[in-house]
Amino acid sequence: MLWLIYTTGECNLKCSYCGGSFSPNIVPWKVKYDLNVLKEMIEADSEAVIIFYGGEPLLNPEFIEDIMDEIQARRFGIQTNGTKIDLLPEKYWKKMDVVLLSIDGRKQLTDRFRGKGTYDSVLKSLIKLNSIGISKIIARMTVTQYTDIYEDVMHLFSIGFKNVHWQLNAVWSKKWNIKSWAYSSYIPGIRKLGEKFLEEASQGNVLGIIPFLGILSAHYFDGYNGPPCGAGYRSISVSTDGRILACPIAVFERWAVLGDVDKGFKFKGLEIPEKCKSCEYFRYCGGRCLYSLMEGKNLWGSFYEDLDEITKRTIEEVISLTKYLDHYINEGIISKDQLKYDPTQDSTEVIP
Ligand code: SF4
Ligand code: SF4
C-alpha cells in the first residue's frame, strides 16, 4: 500500500497553484504523533511504499531521517519542489527509490508560477540527484493554459529527466476556458507526443511519459477499479497531526478522514458514481480522482464536465497508439512488460 507521509505543512515557496504553506492549525508544521505507533502500523504492511509529502517535506529533514532509519518499507520516495535537497544528507538520498521534482517545463513557464530562480534551482538538484545515482526521478508538472504539452514535456526530457508526469491545473485555480485550450492546444500536443512515443518505441525505447504508461498498462494488464492514485483503497495519507486521510489534498474535508495514528484506520469503501461505472473508459481512468468525485460538482460545475471530456479525449489518443504498439510487441522490438505501470509505486495519478 502507498503511505504518503506529511513531514510538515510548511513550504518555502508560494506557487500560484496552491499558495504555499498550510495553516499550522490544519496541517501542523511539526509532527505531533509518536513515530513508534506509526512504525508498527506501517511494518504490518509488507508492501509498504513510503512517500514523503508536504508542504515541502525537506523542511523537516530530521523526521525523514528518523523514518528511513527506523521503519522498514519496500520502497521510499519523496515529492519535493526540488529547491532544498541539500538539507537531506546524501546517504538518505541513496536510499530513495523514486524522487518527484516539481517543474512545469521550460524556464519561463516554471518561474512564472513557482517564483523566479525556481527552474535553475530544480535543474541543479536534478544534476546532483542524477550524479548520486537515484534510479527514478520524475518531473512533476502542473499544466496550465500557458503550457505547450509537447514542447514542455520534450524540454524536460532534453534536460535530463527520464520520466515526466503532469496534472492539469484544475483544483485550486480560478476557472479558465480549459475546453477551448484543450481542443486547440492540449489534445493536438498529446497526439504529437504519441507520435514521438511511437517513434521511440519503434527503436525499442519506451519513453517515460507517465500518463501514457498508466493508461497503456490498464490496456495491456489489469484496469483500475478506482482512481489510479489509489486514494481511498490502496493509498493513505498521514497528516502531521496524526489524522489518516484518504487523499493528501483533502485536509479540510471530513469524508476523507479514515482514522488516526493512535486509533488506526479503516477504508470506507469507494462509491463510484453511476456515470463512471457505465463509462467505457472506466478501466483506464478509474473515475480519475476521488477528490473530484467527492467535491468536483460543488467546486467547479460545468468545468467538471469539461475535465471529463478532456480525460476521454486523452485516453482515446493514448489507446490509439496500441495498434502500432501491438506490432512492436509482436515483433519483439519492445516487450509488453515495459508498458506495465503501477502508479501507487511512485505516487502518481496517471490521469492528468
Ligand atoms: S472518463 Fe469521466 S465518466 Fe469516465 S470513468 Fe473517467 S471520470 Fe468517470
Ligand atoms: S488524484 Fe485526486 S484523489 Fe488522488 S491524490 Fe490526487 S487529489 Fe487525491
Residue-wise pLDDT tens digits, 278-291: 999 999 999 999 99
- Is residue 94 included in any domain, yes or no? yes
| Percent of the chain surpassing pLDDT 90 | 88
- pLDDT value at 113 more than 90: no
Q: 269-278 burial, b if ≥16 CB within 10 A, otherwise e?
A: ebebeeebee
Please state, in angstroms and rounded to a whole number, the distance separating the CA atoms of residues 238 and 243: 6
Rounded to the nearest 10 degrees, what angle do helices 302-319 and 210-220 cross at?
Answer: 70
* Ligand 1 atom at minimal distance to the Cα of residue 280: 4
- Considering the domain boundaries, does residue 11 fall inside one? yes
336 has a pLDDT exceeding 80? yes
Query: Which atom of ligand 1 lies closest to the CA of 307?
Result: 2
Asked if pLDDT for residue 345 goes beyond 90, the answer is: yes
Identify whether the C-beta of residue 284 lies closer than 8 Å to the C-beta of residue 224. yes
Whether the pLDDT of residue 160 is over 70: the answer is yes
- Per-residue pLDDT averaged across 87-107, rounded? 97
Q: What's the pLDDT band for 171 if we cut at 50, 70, 90?
A: low
Ligand closest to CA 256: 2
Please state, as a whole number, how many other Cβ atoms lie within 10 Å of the Cβ of residue 117: 12
Query: Does 205 fall in a domain?
Result: yes
Instruction: Look at residue 18 and tell me whether its pLDDT is greater than 90.
Output: no
Position 279, amino acid: C
Q: Sheet with 243-245: list strands edge to edge.
A: 208-209, 163-168, 137-143, 98-102, 75-80, 49-53, 2-6, 235-238, 243-245, 257-260, 264-265
Is there a domain that residue 350 lies in?
no
Domain that holds residue 61: 2-344
Least confident range of 169-173, 180-184, 226-230, 260-264:
169-173
What is the distance between the alpha carbons of residues 133 and 351, in angstroms, rounded to a whole number?
Answer: 28
Q: Which residue has the cell 504523533?
A: 33
Q: Which pLDDT value is given to residue 172?
A: 64
Count CB-CB contacts under 10 A for residue 151: 14
CATH number at residue 155: 3.20.20.70
Residue 36 CA to its chain's centroid (Å): 28
Is the pLDDT higher at 21 or at 198?
Answer: 198
Quick one: pLDDT at residue 334? 98
213 Cα: distance to centroid of ligand 2 (angstroms) = 18
For residue 180, tell me if it sits in a domain.
yes
Band (pLDDT 50/70/90 cuts) for residue 133 is very high
Task: Identify whether 352 is part of a domain.
Answer: no
pLDDT of residue 310: 96
Over residues 188-195, the mean pLDDT reads: 98
Mutate to test the pocket of ligand 2, among 225, 349, 350, 351 (most ligand atoms within 8 A of CB): 349
Report the C-alpha gap between 11 and 98 in whole angstroms: 21
| Cα torsion 307, 312, 317, 318: sign | positive
Compute, in angstroms, the gap from residue 32 CA to the centroid of ligand 2.
24
Across the range 232-251, mean pLDDT stands at: 96
pLDDT tens digit string along 257-268?
999 999 999 999
Give the ligand at the shortest distance from the Cα of 287.
Answer: 1
Pair 346, 331: CB distance under 8 Å: no
Provide mean pLDDT across the span 89-118: 96
In a domain, 203, yes or no: yes
Report yes or no on 309 lying in a domain.
Answer: yes
Q: How many domains does the chain have?
A: 1
pLDDT mean over 178-187: 96
Contact (CB, 8 A) for 114 and 81: yes
- Max Cα distance, the chain (Å): 58
